[in-house]
């Protein structure tokens, strides 16, 4: 390797390529062994070892294969464009303001006229509702309106002094009598419907009253329980305070360890905190109890 390489006119990549080629050629030349001088006497023909020489063709082919792969890899590394991608979380948002689309009336969807992602414009039909329900409601309301109009005419006739009982058989017509009978039937049906609705409402109110009374009793029980626990907590607090007061001069004199005094002080603070918590719970339960009494108009015992 006596040749001197000049690297002043090459960039960094060319230098790396030349050094890599020199390294590969050096490694390939290591396969050729140079026989060393041996001053020992020659062995007999029967004692001489058999030496198998490596084929020059395969060695050269191996070297040129390595050189070709190296040149190809370096060329690809210099010329190929490698795309760099950085994963990142994103969120798609519309450019303008979003608008909620609602139907003017509820119902059962019969068919959807657009596909997901399809662009629409004002006036396009998005879906078709089943007309069975609204049509039945319209017919029912129309019949109710007709019955109410007939009932109004009947009452207006009675207010104006017209009495059905005073109508003579000669003056009454068949159409008039039929109309009055229909009005009477409609009036009775409406009366029965109103009675049934009133009974249902009374039943619901009774159920709500029973539930309210149960809630009121439960709130009263919770309130009384918290009051009892509060009294016990106050007794425990007072006891711990008395013990802490008695222990203070003993602890100051050094006859009692500061650890025992701190533990007793923590017991007193814990009892004080429990009292504050119970007072808050009592205030909450009291407000709830008053609200239940006020909303259900229940008198105190």
Task: Kindly state whether residue 292 falls inside one of the protein's structural domains.
Answer: yes
Residue 3 lies in a domain: no
- Name the domain count of the chain: 1
Within a domain: residue 239?
A: yes
Domain-embedded: residue 206:
yes
In a domain, 4, yes or no: no
Residue with tokens 């409406």: 190
Percent of the chain beyond pLDDT 90?
A: 1
Domain that holds residue 273: 144-164+171-296
Residue-level pLDDT at 6? 38
77: pLDDT strictly greater than 60:
yes
Residue 235 lies in a domain: yes
pLDDT at residue 7 is higher than 50 = no
**Cα dihedral 144→146→151→153 (10° resolution):** 160
Residues ≥6 apart with Cβ < 8 Å to 73 = none
Q: Examine residue 92 and state whether it is found in any structural domain, yes or no.
A: no
Average pLDDT over residues 86-94: 70
Residue 2's pLDDT band, with cuts at 50, 70 and 90, is very low
What pLDDT is stored for residue 43 in this prediction? Answer: 47
Q: What size, in residues, is the chain?
A: 301
User: Would you say residue 138 lies in a domain?
Assistant: no
Q: What is the pLDDT of residues 244-300, one digit of tens each?
A: 888 788 777 777 777 887 888 888 888 888 888 888 888 887 887 777 777 665 444
């Amino acid at each position: 390797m006596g040749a001197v390489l000049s690297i002043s006119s090459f960039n960094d990549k060319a230098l790396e390529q030349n050094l890599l080629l020199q390294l590969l050629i050096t490694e390939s030349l290591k396969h050729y062994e140079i026989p060393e001088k041996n001053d020992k006497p020659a062995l007999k023909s029967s004692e001489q070892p058999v030496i198998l020489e490596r084929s020059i063709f395969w060695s050269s082919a191996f070297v040129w294969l390595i050189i070709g792969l190296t040149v190809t890899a370096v060329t690809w590394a210099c010329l190929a464009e490698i795309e760099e991608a950085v994963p990142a979380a994103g969120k798609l948002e519309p450019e303008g303001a979003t608008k909620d689309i609602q139907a003017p009336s509820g119902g059962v969807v019969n068919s959807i006229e657009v596909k997901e992602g399809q662009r629409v414009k004002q006036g396009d039909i998005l879906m078709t509702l089943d007309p069975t329900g609204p049509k039945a409601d319209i017919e029912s309301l129309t019949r109710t309106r007709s019955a109410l109009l007939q009932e109004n005419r009947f009452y207006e006739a009675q207010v104006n002094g017209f009495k059905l009982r005073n109508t003579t058989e000669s003056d009454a017509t068949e159409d008039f009598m039929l109309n009055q009978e229909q009005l009477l039937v409609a009036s009775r049906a409406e009366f029965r419907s109103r009675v049934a609705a009133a009974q249902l409402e009374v039943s619901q109110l009774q159920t709500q009253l029973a539930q309210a009374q149960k809630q009121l009793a439960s709130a009263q029980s919770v309130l009384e329980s918290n009051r009892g626990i509060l009294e016990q907590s106050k007794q425990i607090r007072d006891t711990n305070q008395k013990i802490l007061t008695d222990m203070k001069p003993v602890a100051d004199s050094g006859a009692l360890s500061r650890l025992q005094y701190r533990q007793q002080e923590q017991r007193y603070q814990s009892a004080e905190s429990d009292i504050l918590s119970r007072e808050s719970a009592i205030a909450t339960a009291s407000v709830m109890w008053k609200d239940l009494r006020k909303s259900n108009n229940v008198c105190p015992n």
